[in-house]
Each structure stands twice: as C-alpha cells, then as structure tokens.
C-alpha cells in the first residue's frame, strides 16, 4: 500500500524535520552542550610512525596535580576499539604504529590549560622501520601487521579469463591510482562522557552509529550492556568519518570521566581532527581487459590493492565493496578480481561515502575510455555495447531480476547534456584557444545496503510507537547527520499510517530508548530501515484493527482514539519488526558468489570541463547526473544528496590532496587542504528515473553514496577528451597537468634555463 | 577572577552586553561561552570555513579571528537575531523550503553571509551570490540549493530564477 497512487507524503518535498532548529541556531551540537562540573579532555599523541615507547616524562613547569592523567593501565576492560578485528588499541601500550596514535589522556577544568600540558609530556621512543606505501607493504621486507601485512584479500572469479584472453582481438591494460581523501565534515569529532559507579557510562556525541560506540564502550569498560548509554547529539556532517572513530574518542572521554569524577568533554580542533581521524583508502587498480572485434568484453582481469593504514578498522569491508564494484555495470562472462588491503604506518583509513566503490569506479570507468581510445571506438558506444540488462548475471553470478535501465539513463544524459554536439564543437574550437574543453561520461551502480550476508548478520530491529500525547514516534538507532534520516523515516511512517507529516516524530537517538536498527551507513537507511518502519507501521495498524476497533477507513482523530483504547486495554502502543531478507537473496561468503546486494542504484554522469593550458587549472564547467534509485521519498533532499556528493567528488578529482610526511598529514588545515567553494562548484543538473523497489521503504533504494562514485572518472574522461592525455591518478592538480601538458623544451638539455632575477 | 578584567561593552542582536574577559579572547568564544549564544559555530579556527561568521558594525567577520577587544562599542548580529517573534527570517524560510541546510553546522554562518550579501545587494546575480558566499564552506549541499535559497529570499534576481537555471 505504501507504493499505491495514494502517496501524499512520500514523494513530496516536506521540509527537513529538524530544519527549523538548525536555521534558528538552536540545534544543539556536542560543543554547544555543557554539563554541571564539566572538565575538558585532550589527547597526547605519538610523533613517530612506528616504534617502542621507552619512557614518558612530565615537565616541571606544569602543576600535574590539577590534571587527571589516563594511560592504558587505567582501562578496566579490553584495550582495543571493538570493530571487525580487535587490533587497534584504545591507548597505545608500549608500542606505536602511526604518528598520531593516542598514548595518554589529560583532563582539566580549564580547557585553555590543556594545550600547554599536552606539550609538557615528553615521550621517548625506540624507532622501528616503518612502511608507508602499498608497494613497500606488499614486498613484506618489513612486517608491520600480523605475519604478512595483509589485512584482507578476496578472489572473485566468473568463467575463465584465460579463455577470454586467448580469443581477444584487443587487449588493453593500464594502472589507476587514487589518493586519500578527508571527509572534512564542518563539525569536528567531539563527545561528552559521564561515569557513575551505579549507572555506568553515558556518552553524548557527534556520531553515526550509536550501537557501534555502545559495543566498544562495553568492551573497554567491561560493563554489561545496560550500564552503557550512548546518545547522539546533532551531528554536523559525517560522510562515514563518524562511523568508527567516535568509538575511540568516546572511550577516551569516558576513561577521563571515570578517573576524574567529572563529566569530560573532548572536542578536537581542526588540525587534530584532520591529522588523527580516518580518511578514504588510497588505491591502486590494474585493469587488463580482452575484447572482441566489435568491442564486446571477453575477459576482465583486475588486481586491486588498498592502503589500509596502521590498523584494520573497516578495511576488509571497504575492500569487499571495492571488489564487487570493480567490474563496473557491464556484462562479461570471464572475470577475475584479486583484491588485497595492506597495512602501512599511517593513520588508519576508514569509511567514507562510497566505501571502496569510488576507487573501483574510477579505475573501470577511466579504463573504458582508455580502451575506447586504443581500439578506436566512441567511449559511449563501447559502454552501450557492454551494459548489463535485465536477466544478465554480474561477476558474482547475481541475476539481475529487477529492471536495469542503463540505456534509458544514458539516452537521457546524452540528450540533457547535448553531449555529442558539444563534443564536436569543442573539438573544432580547441585548436584555436588556450582553453581546451571536453566532455566525459561515467556509468556505474552502487549496491544498496550491507554487502552479501551483512544485513542478515545485522538482524536489525526497528519500530514505531504512539505517545499518550498523540505523537507517533519512529524508533531507530539510525541517525541524522544532514542526509535526511529524520525526514525520510517520518515520511514513510506518516504515509503508511495515513497520518500527517507533523503527527510523526523521531524518538531520541539514545541507546537507552531506541532499538538497534543497525549502523547509519551503506546507503541502507531509506531502503532497509525505511522498509522496517513501513512494516512496523502496517503491523501497528493490524494490531489496532484487531484489538482497538480501528476501521479500514479512518480519520486522524479516529486513529489516535483507537491508540488510546488500545492503551487502556493492553498497555503501551507500539510495534517492532526485525529484518527479513527479500526472497531469493543468497550470498556465499566462502565462494564469494550470489546476491552481493539486494538492490542496485544506477547512474550516468556527464562532465564538461575546461583545461586552461596557460595556468594548467582544470575546471568543471557543468555537470549532469541521471540516476535510478528506486522511489524518491523526498525530491529536495535526494537532489541535495546528489549535488553534495558530486561536489565532494569534484574535490576528490581535482582539489583535495592529503600530503603525508613520515605518515603524518602535513597539510592538516583548511588553509592547505582545499575543498570546492561556492565559486568552484559548477551548475549541476539532477534527473531521477523512478522504479519503485519492492523490498525498499515505500519503494526506495540507496541514494547517499551513489553520487560520489562517478564524478572523478567522468571529469578525467572529459580532460582526456579536451587534451588527448589519459590521466590515471587523482587528485589531478595543476602541477600534474603541467607535468604532462607543458611544452617540452626543443633543446636536448632537460635542465631548466636559469633566468636572471628581475624583481 | 573575572572581575579583574575591565568590562568590554557591545551590542548583540540589539541588546547591550558587557563582559569581563581577557581582551584577546576570541569574539567567537565570548559569544558561545560567556553569552551562551551557541548558534555561532567553530569549524576551523583560522578564518577559512566561515562557520563563525557574524556581522560587526555591518561588516561580515569571522568571529574566530576577532579579539573581543575589537568589539568594544560594536553592534554585533548573530544567527539568533535573525528571526523575530518566532517568525523565520525570509532567508531562513527559503533555506527550509529549498533544502539550503543539511547537517546545519555551516548554516548559521551561511545565513549571516547571505544576510550581509542581501543587505548590500538586494537582488544579486548568481555570480554575485557565489562570490558573496565564497568564504563560507558547506560540505553537504554542493552549494546549489544554498544559491537557490538566496535567490528565493531575494524575490527575483537579474536574469536567474528557479532551480532550472544555475548557469553562470
């Protein structure tokens, strides 16, 4: 019924649920909150990439009796941050594996005294040889993690690639690289913690996944689950950067609270946040592809490696998604993807919007244009000849049972962007101008929800209840951090219950109140959790019909009257449901085969770029995004997700470079880590084709990550169209363009000509 | 202790205020800590992100770069002063309807920058909007719906109206 033509609220751009509070400046972010008797905390970090800690000394200028000092010895439970593998310490104990590893914690009533105190702790090390790159790590001369530096590897095989290569008319190979990217949410990481011997640990913080933090605190404090409570405060952006890191900072604040006997706030400044928290995994992808005479794919051999940093965090699942997105949206009978994630002595890389897919998508979509150039075919036509269609099987042998409309999306993208006539015009005009323009395209999918069996393991629980004051509440641990969780989930409940949008509100994101609906990640909220809210709402209606005489047709007043009748006779009015996998979804973890994702969102991106061959700057002049992501619950919010994702990915392609020195981020400031501004973002044209997905919340699939996957290859493809040079690495900065495009001196000498200074 | 500092007086959102704090304390911290006006946010602490934007004597400033000493006698406007009697300011209403705010952390500063822009130029072109907001970073929206919000609040602008026309 949620998908009937009667939709009134789903599909409408109702205003953001918490929008007014944000616009009035009264939304409470963690740093806006004070607790009675609150102290402030700070972190003493390492300064070498790898080594033993030999001594810790405290200077004599500081009156240390005013401070609370916490070391690894103060941890009552396990000294690790609970995630997939328990390898990352909460506080370094005798050894450090990256430059910014937390070693010691300080708390003081006056936050202005902390900076000097942090500088007053002197740590002596016995250095060990570090490893900084994928190549150094895979050589295994120096082993810095486990027995072989290898966090995880996958082998994905379909058919027999050797057969495909033997029959090839063309074989094209190339290597692609992507560097790290920083989330740069505008609100830095921060938490407040309280400790009480009776009630345990309570944490308020800027975070995505309250139950991840909960699980980690249970382990660090060796407490029972009911003695840990995690409350999300208004969160100023996350993008994956507040998926796992909050478990670290929350543990730190809570340890200081326990030892000091005061509530403790730990809020990072920008430099600390940039230097010490996770980033997008750097990658290296080698593509080797066999094609027949007509440009049909015969075999794809892909070797994919990521740099995981010093601890495993989420590297295995990021690698899994990268592996599953590596072959692109194409039909090929013979595919082999080998993927590995390697340890290095840098800050651990973690979750970031797209979660491995942007790296994989960059490689395959850049490679498609490299293939097209080598075999002399239009890159659009090459893609069209190889697109997946309904009924085809992917590299994991997943049969495409839902409609696949790549051709339709492509046709629309070509028409909206006037692709061919612009490309021809630019080719004509470029010869006569130093500004070289070009058009580029990318085709891609993004799997919605957790990979493989992930959603079954999560086993999410979510629901709705009705308060005596006459409000329906959505009960989820899925959090709002700008992407629209509050709005979309209340829209789905209001639609399904046939109430007004204003009748439905979110229960507080507090583990003491809401059930575990899983982490707020993986483009799963609208599709997976939204479906749970739809089912819970339907179940509530059935209950009210069976036990409180709610009619089939009812007014808003009749609904709430029925709720009160139910309350009088049976107690609390609420309904909880647990995740059920859509039928026909099977995943074989051992053979890495089956339904990798319950649904895919699809997109075509088109970029128009201008490369200035005087200044060597590349600019995106206009951008088109056509996508199918199921039913669009809220067009304004969905459009905002797409535009924001594209802007972030333009930064990934052309602006944002993490400069590492000795494994430490050297440009950890907004002054020198450059993201796109209001003057850099081009006009972005967003178009949705809607095909409701039967098993998604009111027909939704995931939308949040999809837009980050395509822009980088579309932009570099456009730069290739403009300049004729196939660039294979991002970020692509002016100095990189200069290195390739600058006229070479005619003389044999390669030494720069020395000029007399005239200034 | 605080009594040791001479009083620094200024007007915030039309109200006279006096604080006794170190003269070099950042205006941002005075607003947030001493006056509990936490709508103004800190994003970078070095004048890059604009989250702490407020208006001081009619100029747009990054309050993280202003020692409170400089605010002596000044008129300061923050996000808290935009709405009146519970009614949203036209810019706030436009941001709400057009999707100009997502996570909301840049929003107060963005609203102050937009207020400043429209005060000087009631009907800006899109290029002027881009320039006027270039000192305020937003990581969520890609700015497109912020531009639309400003255009909607301005009523009409020269040659640009509505979401279909973002061209520069």
CA distance A56 to B41: 36
Interface probe for B, chosen from A25, A40, A239, A271 (most Cβ of B below 10 Å), is: A25
Q: Are residue B68 and residue B114 in the same domain, yes or no?
A: no
Of the two residues A74 and A590, the one the predictor is more confident about is: A74
Q: Which of A481, A678, A685 shows the shortest C-beta gap to B130?
A: A678
Q: A7 pLDDT band (50/70/90 cuts)?
A: low
Q: Is B162 on the interface with A (CB under 8 A)?
A: no
pLDDT for A748 equals 52
B144 assigned to some structural domain: yes
Q: B86 pLDDT band (50/70/90 cuts)?
A: confident
In the predicted structure, residue A512 carries a pLDDT above the cut 70 = yes
| For range A419-434, the mean pLDDT | 98
| For range A560-569, the mean pLDDT | 98
The torsion angles phi and psi of A107, rounded to 5 degrees, stand at -135, 145
What dotted CATH number matches A283-451+592-741? 3.30.365.10
pLDDT for A585 equals 85
CA distance A484 to chain B (A): 8
Minimum CA–CA partner of A234 in chain B:
B103
CA distance A503 to A104: 48
Q: Where are the domains of chain A?
A: 19-28+460-578, 35-128+183-276, 283-451+592-741
Would residue A165 be called left, alpha or beta, if left means φ above 0 and alpha means ψ between -120 and 50 degrees?
Answer: alpha
Reported as a single tens digit per residue, the pLDDT across B90-143 is: 999 999 999 999 999 999 999 999 999 999 999 999 999 999 999 999 999 999
In the predicted structure, residue A759 carries a pLDDT above the cut 80 = no
CA distance B165 to chain A (A): 8
Taking residue A122's Cβ as centre, other Cβ atoms within 10 Å add up to 11
Reported as a single tens digit per residue, the pLDDT across A31-57 is: 999 999 999 999 999 999 999 999 999
The answer to whether the A35-128+183-276 and A283-451+592-741 domains have the same CATH topology is yes
Of the residues B78, B111, B140, the one at which a domain ends: B78
pLDDT for A745 equals 74
Reported as a single tens digit per residue, the pLDDT across A305-346 is: 999 999 999 999 999 999 999 999 999 999 999 999 999 999
- Whether the CB-CB separation of A365 and A653 falls below 8 Å is answered with no
Instruction: Take residue B146 and report the two structure tokens written for it.
Output: 């912020």
Provide CB contacts within 8 A for A581, sequence distance 6+. Answer: A455, A456, A598
B165 assigned to some structural domain: no
Identify the three-state secondary structure at position A339: strand
- DSSP one-letter code for A414: H
Lay out the sheet containing A335-343: strands in order across.
A150-158, A335-343, A297-309, A283-291, A170-178, A729-730
Lay out the sheet containing A472-475: strands in order across.
A504-506, A472-475, A461-466, A573-578
Q: B85 pLDDT band (50/70/90 cuts)?
A: confident
Reported as a single tens digit per residue, the pLDDT across B38-64 is: 999 999 999 999 999 999 999 999 999
Q: For residue A302, which of A333, A327, A331, A328 has the smallest C-alpha distance?
A: A327
DSSP A422-490: HHHHHHHHHTT-SEEEEEEEEEEEEEESSSTTHHHHH--EEEEEE-TTS-EEEE-S---SSS-HHHHHH
A228-232 and A95-96 beta bridge pairing:
unpaired
B117 assigned to some structural domain: yes
Fold that domain A35-128+183-276 belongs to in CATH: Aldehyde Oxidoreductase; domain 4 (3.30.365)
Taking residue A76's Cβ as centre, other Cβ atoms within 10 Å add up to 11
User: Domain of B145: which CATH number?
Assistant: 1.10.150.120
Provide CB contacts within 8 A for A99, sequence distance 6+. Answer: A45, A46, A47, A48, A49, A275, A345, A346, A347, A662, A663, A664
Helix (H) or strand (E) holding A211: helix A210-221
A264-267 and A39-45 beta bridge pairing:
parallel
Of the residues B16, B48, B78, the one at which a domain ends: B78
CB-CB neighbors (< 8 A) of A26 in chain B: 39, 80
In the predicted structure, residue A229 carries a pLDDT above the cut 80 = yes
Q: B4 pLDDT band (50/70/90 cuts)?
A: confident
Q: What percent of chain A has pLDDT over 90?
A: 96
In the predicted structure, residue A746 carries a pLDDT above the cut 70 = no
Q: A583 pLDDT band (50/70/90 cuts)?
A: confident
Residues linked to residue A123 through DSSP beta bridges, in sequence order: A56
Cβ pair A186:B51 closer than 8 A:
yes
In the predicted structure, residue A221 carries a pLDDT above the cut 80 = yes
Q: Which of B95, B99, B147 shows the shortest C-beta gap to A637?
A: B99
Reported as a single tens digit per residue, the pLDDT across A375-386 is: 999 999 999 999
**How much of chain B is helix, strand and coil, in % rounded to 5?**
35, 15, 50
In the predicted structure, residue B158 carries a pLDDT above the cut 80 = no
pLDDT for A584 equals 84
Q: B162 pLDDT band (50/70/90 cuts)?
A: very low
B164 assigned to some structural domain: no
Q: Is B69 exposed, middle or buried (0-12, 13-18, 19+ CB in 10 A)?
A: middle
pLDDT for A679 equals 97
Reported as a single tens digit per residue, the pLDDT across A277-316 is: 999 999 999 999 999 999 999 999 999 999 999 999 999 9
Q: For residue A145, which of A101, A97, A99, A100 has the smallest C-alpha distance?
A: A97
Cβ pair A678:B44 closer than 8 A:
no
CA distance A686 to chain B (A): 10
As a whole number, the mean pLDDT across chain A is 96
Cβ pair B139:A234 closer than 8 A:
no
CA distance A246 to A728: 34
Minimum CA–CA partner of A269 in chain B:
B44
**B101 lies in which domain range?**
90-153
Q: For residue A242, which of A353, A80, A354 has the smallest C-alpha distance?
A: A353
Minimum CA–CA partner of A188 in chain B:
B43
CA distance B73 to chain A (A): 24
Q: What percent of chain A has pLDDT over 70?
A: 97
Interface probe for B, chosen from A607, A655, A678 (most Cβ of B below 10 Å), is: A678
Q: Are residue B66 and residue B6 in the same domain, yes or no?
A: yes
Q: For residue A400, which of A384, A387, A388 has the smallest C-alpha distance?
A: A388
Q: Are residue B28 and residue B52 in the same domain, yes or no?
A: yes
Residues written for chain B:
168
Q: Does 3.30.365.10 match the CATH number of domain A19-28+460-578?
A: yes
- Whether the CB-CB separation of A525 and A489 falls below 8 Å is answered with yes
Q: Which of B37, B104, B144 shows the shortest C-beta gap to A643?
A: B144
CA distance B75 to B17: 10
DSSP strands (E only) in A467-554: 472-475, 504-506
In the predicted structure, residue A4 carries a pLDDT above the cut 70 = no
Cα A46 versus chain centre, distance: 27
pLDDT for B3 equals 63
Residues written for chain A:
759
Cβ pair A18:B39 closer than 8 A:
no
Q: B165 pLDDT band (50/70/90 cuts)?
A: very low
pLDDT for A671 equals 97
Would residue A421 be called left, alpha or beta, if left means φ above 0 and alpha means ψ between -120 and 50 degrees?
Answer: alpha
Cβ pair A684:B142 closer than 8 A:
yes
B162 assigned to some structural domain: no
pLDDT for A100 equals 98
pLDDT for A6 equals 59
User: Domain of B34: which CATH number?
Assistant: 3.10.20.30
Interface probe for A, chosen from B49, B106, B124, B140 (most Cβ of A below 10 Å), is: B140
Q: Are residue B72 and residue B107 in the same domain, yes or no?
A: no
CA distance A234 to chain B (A): 8
pLDDT for A747 equals 54
Q: For residue B65, which of A59, A739, A671 has the smallest C-alpha distance?
A: A671
Provide CB contacts within 8 A for A12, sequence distance 6+. Answer: A491, A634
Q: For residue A504, which of A556, A582, A441, A447 has the smallest C-alpha distance?
A: A556
pLDDT for A230 equals 98
Cβ pair A186:B111 closer than 8 A:
no
| For range A459-470, the mean pLDDT | 98
pLDDT for A757 equals 45
Of the residues B21, B48, B78, the one at which a domain ends: B78
Provide CB contacts within 8 A for B159, sequence distance 6+. Answer: B125
Q: Is B11 on the interface with A (CB under 8 A)?
A: no
Q: What is the ipTM of this complex?
A: 0.96
pLDDT for A2 equals 37
Interface probe for B, chosen from A32, A268, A482 (most Cβ of B below 10 Å), is: A482
CB-CB neighbors (< 8 A) of A184 in chain B: 139
CA distance A423 to B76: 51
**SS3 assignment for A602-615:** EEEEEEEEEEECCC
Q: What would you report as the CA-atom Rg of chain A, rounded to the nearest whole angstrom?
A: 27
pLDDT for B166 equals 39
Cβ pair B99:A234 closer than 8 A:
no
Identify the three-state secondary structure at position A595: coil
Q: Are residue B74 and residue B134 in the same domain, yes or no?
A: no
CA distance A666 to A659: 6
Q: Are residue B70 and residue B94 in the same domain, yes or no?
A: no
Q: Is B115 on the interface with A (CB under 8 A)?
A: no
Residue whose tokens read 């407020």: B54
In the predicted structure, residue B161 carries a pLDDT above the cut 80 = no
Name the B residues in 50-69 with CB < 8 Å from any A CB.
Answer: 51
Per-residue b or e along A186-203, where b marks 16 or more CB atoms closer than 10 Å to that residue's CB: bbbbbbbbbbeeeebbbb
B12 assigned to some structural domain: yes
| For range A145-174, the mean pLDDT | 98
Interface probe for A, chosen from B40, B139, B164 (most Cβ of A below 10 Å), is: B139
Cβ pair A681:B39 closer than 8 A:
no
If one counts the domains in chain B, the total is: 2
Q: For residue A352, which of A247, A240, A520, A184 has the smallest C-alpha distance?
A: A240
In the predicted structure, residue A756 carries a pLDDT above the cut 60 = no
Residue whose tokens read 């909007």: B129
């Amino acid at each position: 019924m949620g998908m009937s033509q009667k939709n009134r609220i789903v599909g409408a751009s109702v205003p953001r649920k918490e929008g007014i509070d944000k616009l009035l400046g009264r939304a409470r972010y963690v740093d806006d909150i004070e607790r009675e008797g609150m102290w402030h905390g700070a972190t003493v970090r390492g300064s070498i990439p790898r080594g033993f800690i030999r001594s810790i000394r405290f200077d004599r200028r500081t009156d240390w009796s005013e401070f609370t000092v916490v070391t690894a010895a103060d941890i009552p439970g396990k000294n690790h941050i609970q995630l997939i593998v328990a390898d990352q310490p909460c506080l370094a104990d005798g050894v450090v594996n990256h430059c910014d590893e937390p070693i010691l914690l300080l708390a003081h009533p006056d936050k202005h005294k902390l900076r000097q105190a942090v500088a007053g702790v002197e740590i002596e090390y016995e250095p060990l040889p570090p490893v900084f790159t994928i190549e150094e790590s895979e050589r295994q001369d120096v082993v810095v993690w486990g027995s072989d530096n290898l966090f995880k590897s996958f082998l994905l095989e379909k058919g027999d690639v050797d057969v495909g290569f033997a029959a090839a008319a063309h074989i094209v190979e190339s290597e692609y690289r992507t560097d790290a990217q920083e989330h740069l949410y505008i609100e830095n990481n921060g938490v407040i913690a309280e400790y009480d011997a009776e009630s345990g640990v309570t944490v308020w913080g800027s975070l995505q996944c309250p139950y991840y933090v909960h699980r980690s605190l249970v382990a660090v404090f060796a407490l029972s689950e009911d003695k840990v409570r995690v409350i999300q405060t208004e969160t100023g952006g996350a993008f994956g950067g507040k998926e796992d890191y909050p478990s670290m900072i929350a543990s730190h604040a809570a340890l200081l609270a326990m030892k000091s006997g005061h509530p403790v706030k730990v809020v990072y400044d920008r430099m600390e946040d940039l230097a010490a928290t996770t980033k997008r995994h750097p990658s290296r992808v080698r593509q080797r592809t066999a094609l027949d005479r007509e440009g049909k794919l015969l075999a794809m051999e892909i070797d994919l490696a990521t740099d995981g940093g010093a601890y495993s965090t989420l590297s295995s699942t990021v690698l899994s998604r990268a592996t599953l997105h590596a072959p692109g949206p194409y039909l090929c009978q013979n595919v082999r993807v080998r993927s590995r994630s390697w340890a290095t002595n840098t800050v651990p890389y973690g979750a970031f919007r797209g979660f491995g897919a942007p790296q994989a998508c960059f490689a395959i979509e850049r490679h498609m244009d490299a293939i097209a150039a080598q075999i002399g075919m239009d890159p659009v036509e090459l893609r069209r000849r190889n697109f997946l269609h309904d009924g085809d099987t992917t590299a994991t042998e997943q049969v495409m049972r839902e409609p696949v409309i790549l051709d339709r999306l492509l046709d629309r993208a070509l028409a909206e962007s006037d692709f061919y006539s612009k490309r021809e015009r630019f080719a004509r005009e470029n010869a006569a101008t130093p500004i070289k323009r070009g058009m580029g395209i990318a085709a891609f999918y993004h799997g919605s929800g957790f990979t493989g069996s992930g959603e079954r393991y999560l086993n999410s629980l979510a629901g709705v209840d009705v308060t005596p004051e006459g409000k329906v509440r959505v009960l989820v641990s899925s959090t709002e951090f700008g992407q629209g969780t509050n709005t979309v989930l209340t829209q789905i409940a209001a639609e399904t219950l046939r109430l007004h949008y204003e009748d439905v509100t979110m229960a507080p994101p507090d583990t003491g109140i809401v059930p575990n609906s899983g982490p707020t990640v993986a483009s799963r909220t609208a599709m997976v959790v939204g479906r749970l809210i739809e089912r819970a709402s339907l179940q509530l209606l059935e209950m009210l019909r069976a036990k409180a005489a709610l009619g089939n047709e009812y007014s808003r007043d009749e609904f709430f009257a029925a709720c009160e009748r139910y309350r009088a006779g049976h107690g609390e009015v609420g309904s909880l449901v647990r995740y059920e996998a859509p039928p026909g979804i099977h995943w074989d973890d051992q053979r890495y085969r089956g339904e990798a994702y319950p649904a895919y969102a699809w997109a075509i991106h088109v970029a128009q770029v201008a490369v200035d061959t005087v200044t060597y700057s590349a600019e995106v002049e206009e951008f088109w995004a056509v996508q199918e992501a199921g039913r669009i619950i809220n067009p304004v919010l969905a459009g905002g997700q797409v535009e924001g994702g594209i802007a972030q990915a333009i930064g990934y392609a052309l602006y944002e470079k993490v400069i590492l020195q000795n494994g430490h981020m050297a440009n950890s400031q907004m002054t020198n880590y450059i993201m796109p501004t209001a003057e850099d973002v081009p006009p972005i044209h967003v178009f949705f084709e809607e095909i409701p997905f039967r098993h998604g919340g009111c027909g939704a699939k995931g939308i949040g990550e999809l837009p980050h996957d395509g822009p980088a290859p579309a932009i570099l493809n456009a730069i290739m169209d403009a300049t004729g040079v196939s660039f294979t690495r991002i970020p692509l900065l002016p100095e990189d363009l200069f290195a390739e495009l600058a006229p070479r001196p005619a003389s044999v000498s390669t030494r720069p000509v020395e000029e007399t200074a005239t200034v | 202790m605080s009594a040791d500092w001479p009083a620094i007086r200024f007007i915030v959102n039309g109200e006279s205020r006096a604080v006794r704090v170190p003269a070099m304390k950042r205006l941002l911290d005075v607003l947030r800590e001493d006056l509990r006006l936490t709508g103004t946010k800190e994003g970078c602490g070095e004048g890059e992100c604009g989250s702490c934007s407020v208006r001081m004597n009619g100029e747009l400033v990054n309050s993280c770069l202003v020692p409170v000493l400089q605010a002596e006698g000044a008129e300061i406007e923050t996000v808290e002063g935009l709405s009146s009697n519970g009614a949203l300011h036209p810019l706030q209403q436009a941001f709400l309807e057009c999707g100009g705010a997502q996570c909301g952390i840049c929003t107060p500063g963005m609203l102050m920058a937009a207020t400043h822009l429209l005060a000087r130029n009631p009907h800006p072109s899109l290029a002027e909007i881009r320039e006027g907001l270039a000192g305020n970073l937003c990581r969520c929206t890609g700015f497109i719906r912020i531009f639309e919000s400003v255009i909607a609040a301005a009523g009409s602008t020269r040659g640009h109206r509505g979401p279909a026309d973002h061209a520069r």
